[in-house]
Amino acid sequence: MAGLLDTNALKDITGAAFAPVLGTGQLIRIDMVRQPGGVIIPTEQPPVAISVQVDRCDEAMRQSPGYTEQDVKLIILQSGVTGREPNSDDVVVARGERWKCKSVRSDPAQSHWTIHATRDATEE
């Protein structure tokens, strides 16, 4: 017998309820591609449309190594996002800025990802 957390039901309900009130953005997955000679080249994949909220970092994020005052917490709804989940190589575009992911957590219902991010220095 499947439990409620074993289905996409909560993900879909949360997505339907919160997507209209969150901002829009893009998830840009970065694949680290090994070249001949062992050099690893970051390669951007096509952006994926997301629903995202930009917020202040929580206490755990502020205590993490490398934290800066410019860091943010990104909350991204999982509903409608296909492919692999975000990781610390990826970039999120929200509120017209690029944010480099530092860490990614998912809630048990898989309704959203919570990402500790910092302003992407490669955009400058």
List the chain domain ranges.
4-123
Superfamily of 4-123 according to CATH: Bacteriophage SPP1 head-tail adaptor protein (2.40.10.270)
φ/ψ (deg, to 5) at 18 = -100, -20
pLDDT number for residue 7: 63
E strands present in the chain: 23-28, 30-34, 40-44, 48-55, 72-77, 91-94, 97-106, 112-119
pLDDT number for residue 19: 75
> Going residue by residue through the chain (124 aa), what tens digit of pLDDT does each one get?
455 556 677 777 777 777 778 899 999 999 999 999 989 999 999 999 999 999 999 999 999 999 999 999 999 999 999 999 999 999 999 999 999 999 999 988 889 999 999 999 775 4
